[in-house]
Chain A
Amino acid sequence: MIAELGHFALVLALVIALLQATLPLYGVYANIPALQRFARSSALMQAFCLILSFAGLIVAFLQNDFTLDYVSRQSNTLLPYYYKISAVWGGHEGSLLLWVLVLSLWGAAVSLFSHSLPREMVARVLAIIGMVGVALMSFILMTSNPFNRILPDFPLDGADLNPLLQDIGLIVHPPILYMGYVGFTVPFAFAMAALLGGRLDSAWARWSRPWAVAAWCFLTVGIALGSWWAYYELGWGGWWFWDPVENASFMPWLAGTALIHSLAVSEKRGVFKAWTVMLAIIAFALSLLGTFLVRSGVLTSVHAFASDPARGMFVLGILTVVIGGSLLLFALRASHLNSESRYALVSRESFLLVNNLLLVTATTVVLLGTLYPLIADALTLGKVSVGAPYFNALFMPLAFILLVFMGLGSLSNWKRHDIRSFIPLWKVLAVAVFLGVALPLFFFGTAPIKVMMSASLCVWVLLSIVRDVWLKARTAKQGILAGLGRLSRSYYGMQLAHIGILVTILGVTFTSNYSIERDVRMGVGDSVNVGPYHFEWQGIRDIQGANYRATQAEVKVSKDGELVSLLHPEKRIYVVQNRSMTEAAIDSGLFRDVYVAMGEPLDNNQWAVRVYYKPFVRWLWLGALMMAAGGILAMSDRRYRIAARQATPVVSQGATAK
């Protein structure tokens, strides 16, 4: 019964979305304010219905309703309740319902937080969001309905959730990732609204920017969570595999990063308008492309949902119509987007343009690498695999060039920058190179060239940031502290996010070059040295979990004779699917992780054990958190909050001008 209510709520949401997609646009065309206002209320109603629908599915899982096909495939009576809830989005159908739920929540957010925007713009934006919702809800109802029942013959117990998914990672990673992924629909909708309305100005950029940044923040955290989860769950110490599904989330992030920078320029200088619109379309297109790749079966991935070409065709259809349509509109209307100012060859605008180009190139690298096996297949060039060696080889130089321009860019002026003012900075560069060479050598004893380059560049950008903050703050008459207080949140947000990316790059550099892994056999009394740490196998015992039995080992970790920690890795067998899984034990720290994972039992009461020393690996995710924090800080800037308080008359003058 609950499932039927959920199903009904979903259908209702589709109908509302259909109205939301059409009536407000007609209202704009025929100048009927009531229909335009309808957009706001329909967005809220749609969100309400989808919340009910999703709640219905959750209840079905919690009640062990195995008459629902989806529940019987994903869940089991022995599953702890918190995994039952997260199992809702563990499979294709449920995750799609999450997708449309998140979309409707973003729509509701736009509806609630956009009172300073012209009514017509809001109407258009919500209508576009409605269209995307219609497409996806139709897809769900027609091909991937989580509420399908399998009466009269249903199993007494479910097939259980894949043990790898029975983890906190499943509870947090998909929802946050989807908030980001799906969130790029909003800047896309803003871009479409601008193209439809024929007007794109500074005000538009100011309105769109917080939405783009918000989606970007979520996506940043979502990707970091995925990486962290894979790291501790999969047991081989990797944190990024360049798997198609991972790439599917990384590409929108790269395009989204370019987008938020482009929006900044459009807002401040009235240039890059076509770029901004195109990037908004591209970021969303990559989101939809990701949704397609993960569910269509054209690419192999451990993360992919069960594939079905019929579903793939449907999503491809949605992709073609939505993105083809928006790119067509772009092709027709882009020439109307006028630049409002000019800028010199050497200027902050130029540096940001280079930034755009580099990020788009990076996106191209990832896209090409991910799709190349398909291209080779289609052109019958044989079967190739494209993986980490390719991506790392191309990505690294791009990252280095990006760092160079990041450092230069944040020091440059708008409109025209005298390149000679960079010359005295050679001192900063020298200090950076010195530190970049000395620090790795000091910490690790060796320093490959790429480590030195990476570290030097990161230190250099950091010094540039510090210098910039100091220069800006000291202009205050009351002294530096007052000066620091006067700097806007937007500025601090930017610097924090930039420092975040430096932290991530340093983490990647150090952990890629200095990690040590040993596969050894260990029994009682055996020990091994990995890096500066000493690991001693103490013994094993059997334990029982909620839906698994396990063999747990105790490993004593010490450094220079002092105890660092006692690790308890486990080898589990989940009873329902009879699957074994290794649960790694990690002692994490700011500057290093120490990691032990059990393999198979060997003879002589010994076990195959993998031991890792991973320096600076936490910096990867710490940097991502800093980036997201920077974004949130920037979003909370005064100008976005003041605009809300300003009376509508000032804004509506602009709204009537087409």
Chain B
Amino acid sequence: MKMRALLWAIPLVLFLGLAALLMSRLGTDPTALPSARLGKPFPEFQLADLLTNQPLTLASIKGKPAVVNVWASWCPSCKEEHPALMKLAQQGLPIIGLNYKDVPDDAKAYLMQRGNPFQVIIADVDGNLGLDLGVYGAPETYLIDAKGDVVYRYVGVFDEKIWQSQLAPCYQQLLTGGEATLCQ
């Protein structure tokens, strides 16, 4: 008899589990997509630098931990985050630009207007590198380590607060050559 009573309570228990699940998911962003390249090497590529036209490959950008910023002149949010990038570049942070699916002239004009925070700029005119990287919409900001592995991805407008709270600790760890445990 007692077992029957417990049976009747099963729907209630299942429902409470469901409610708990739903509550845990409120406020999270269902469209947030973690990078599939985390912990894996940055993809190989053979493209030119936007400004100098020098050929660039993966070897040219790896060697030390760096930030890779995906941007384009047609992207309104990129304009918003540009000042923060300038400030961080002035503080000595190595930022590599990935100019994604852009017209080179427009991109150059954009930089002339707003300043160039990038050490090198990979001109990914067709978007092939972006596709290999798993980019789905500018702006995106990646952290790569000395080996050239992708350790972090942030999607959205990048600013000082986000740098301080999310990327800086990870970057510090990479600099000291330790385990990238803070990079999630």
Contact = CB atoms under 8 A, between A and B. Distances in A.
A327 B11 contact: yes
Given A300-B31, A335-B4, A335-B8, A374 B25 contact: yes
Contacts of A324: 12, 15-16, 19
Given A278-B11, A297-B26, A324-B16, 11 more contacts: A298-B26, A313-B23, A316-B19, A316-B26, A319-B22, A330-B12, A331-B11, A332-B8, A371-B21, A374-B21, A375-B21
Contacts of A281: 11
Contacts of A332: 8
B112 interface: no
Nearest to B6: A331
A375 B4 CA distance: 29
A488 interface: no
B6 to A, nearest CB: 9
B8 A331 contact: yes
Interface string B1-32: 10011001101100110110111111110110
A284 interface: no
A316 B23 contact: yes
Nearest to A334: B8
A378 B21 contact: yes
A330 B11 contact: yes
A327 B24 CA distance: 21
Interface of A: 274, 278, 281-282, 285, 289, 292, 296-300, 309, 312-313, 316, 319-320, 323-324, 327-328, 330-332, 334-335, 371, 373-375, 377-378, 382-383
B34 interface: yes
Contacts of B12: 324, 327-328, 330-331
- With a 10 A CB-CB cut-off, give which of B15, B21, B24 has the most chain A CB atoms: B15
A599 B28 CA distance: 35
B25 A377 contact: yes
B175 interface: no
B30 A327 contact: no
B33 interface: yes
Nearest to B14: A327
A320 B18 CA distance: 10
Contact of A378 (B15, B16, B25, B27): B25
A335 B21 CA distance: 29
Nearest to A293: B22
B19 A312 contact: no
Contacts of B8: 274, 330-332, 334-335
Contacts of B21: 371, 374-375, 378
A378 B24 contact: yes
A382 B34 CA distance: 8
Nearest to A312: B26
B7 to A, nearest CB: 9
A551 to B, nearest CB: 26
B25 A298 contact: yes
Contacts, number: 73
Interface of B: 1, 4-5, 8-9, 11-12, 15-16, 18-19, 21-28, 30-31, 33-34
A312 B9 CA distance: 26
B169 to A, nearest CB: 20
A483 B57 CA distance: 85
B32 to A, nearest CB: 8
B22 A323 contact: no
A296 B30 contact: no
23 contacts: A274-B8, A285-B15, A292-B22, A296-B22, A297-B26, A298-B22, A298-B26, A298-B30, A300-B31, A309-B26, A313-B23, A319-B19, A320-B16, A324-B15, A324-B19, A331-B12, A371-B21, A373-B30, A374-B21, A374-B22, A375-B21, A383-B33, A383-B34
Contact of A297 (B11, B19, B30, B34): B30
Contacts of B31: 300
A565 B5 CA distance: 65
Nearest to A311: B26
A603 B169 CA distance: 52
A278 to B, nearest CB: 6
Contacts of B15: 285, 323-324, 327
Nearest to A367: B18
A282 B11 contact: yes
Contacts of A382: 34
Contacts of B1: 335
A324 B18 CA distance: 11
Given A285-B15, A383-B34, A377 B28 contact: yes
A387 to B, nearest CB: 14
A371 B25 CA distance: 11
A374 B28 CA distance: 10
Nearest to A307: B30
Contacts of B25: 298, 374, 377-378
A309 B27 contact: yes
A296 B28 CA distance: 10
Contact of B30 (A278, A300, A375): A300
B28 A298 contact: yes
Contacts of B33: 383
A110 to B, nearest CB: 25
A324 B22 CA distance: 14
B81 to A, nearest CB: 24
Contacts of A331: 5, 8-9, 11-12
A330 B9 CA distance: 8
Nearest to B27: A309
B38 to A, nearest CB: 11
Contacts of A282: 11
A320 B5 CA distance: 21
B175 to A, nearest CB: 28
Contacts of A375: 21
Nearest to A244: B30
Nearest to A331: B9
B98 to A, nearest CB: 23
A144 to B, nearest CB: 16
A644 B18 CA distance: 41
Contacts of A374: 21-22, 25, 30
Contacts of A299: 30
B26 A296 contact: yes
Nearest to B34: A383
A332 B7 CA distance: 11
A312 to B, nearest CB: 5
